[in-house]
Structure 1
Amino acid sequence: MCFSYDQIELQSHRLAKQIIQQSKHNPVRLNLVGNSSIELKNRNLEFDKMQTQDGSLPLIKNVILQDQVGKLYSIEPCENGLKFAQGEITYKEYLQNQKGENKKLIGFSLAFITLFLASGWGLVTFL
């Protein structure tokens, strides 16, 4: 199965743009992979013009939002992050959902590795 990294970047940019535009909190900054960041002065950031030196789109690590009290929230550009930004879930629920997804990913990876090793062992044993 072939999967393009451009699709990951485009999905990240699409969700980050939705988070910035639809957030009930004030978007402050975009943190990019590679320890660089972009300060957000308004909600109309042009993602088309955000290209690196090699012409690719930078990968967004997280979006920093600030509430009315001044508390900062770091969220990843994902569906759970969008739900938090829109006010559908709390930050605590967002963090719990992210941990749950990470646990599922680790569980599926371990199950796949175990299945792969068991089938290899079975082939060696019976051949």
Structure 2
Amino acid sequence: MCFSYSFIEQQTHEMSKKIWDSSLYKLIRIDFAGGNCFKVQSNLSDWVSLETEMGNKSTLITKVILEDIEGKHYSIEPNDNGLRFAKGELTYKEYKNLQEKGNALWITIFIVGFLLIFTLMSVLVKFVL
């Protein structure tokens, strides 16, 4: 399965917009691939004005930084778990645990896939030679 990079960028923008619209927290910064970031001004009232202010809409959003009423900052990824945290459905600890489990799953899938390919190649070489 192959996705174009612009599709992924579009998805991160859409998820970030959902986080902006439904968050219990204040959106204070957006981090992009490549290390660039955009600090959200308090006078921006909607996502369209935010994207206009950001300028380059095709940049991959990697993190969204939220702030609670006590001034504590939370760094989340623009994905379903991040949205659930922003809505208050998850605590930050639960969010981090879900992210770690997701990463561990992908690492496990990669390792199992690599071992399977290695095993199949070994069997193929054994029978061909």
Structure 1 residues not aligned, in runs of 5+: none
Tell me the TM-score normalized by structure 1.
0.90
Q: CA RMSD in A?
A: 1.6
CA contact (8 A) 1:30 1:37 kept: yes
> Following the alignment from structure 1 to structure 2, what is the Cα–Cα distance between the partners of residues 69 and 80?
22
Give the equivalent residue in structure 1 for 2:37. Answer: 37
Aligned pairs, number: 124
Residue-by-residue CA offset, 1:43-88 (whole Å, 9 max, x unaligned): 5132764554xxx701111000000100000000010000000000
Which residue of 2 is the match for residue 27 of structure 1? Answer: 27
Between the aligned partners of 2:28 and 2:19, the Cα distance in structure 1 is: 12
Q: What secondary structure is seen at the aligned counterpart in 2 of 1:109?
A: helix
SS at match of 1:58: coil
**Normalised by the size of structure 2, how large is the TM-score?**
0.89
Return closer, same or farther for 1:121/1:43 CA change in 2, 3 Å cut-off: farther
Instruction: Map 1:1-127 onto structure 2 (within 5 A).
Output: 1-41=1-41, 42-46=44-48, 49=52, 50=54, 52=56, 57-127=58-128
Give the aligned residue type for 1:44. Answer: D
Q: Percent identical across equivalent pairs?
A: 38
Partner-residue secondary structure (3-state), 1:120: helix
Q: Which amino acid aligns with 2:47?
A: L
CA distance in structure 2 between the partners assigned to 1:24 and 1:4 by the alignment = 32
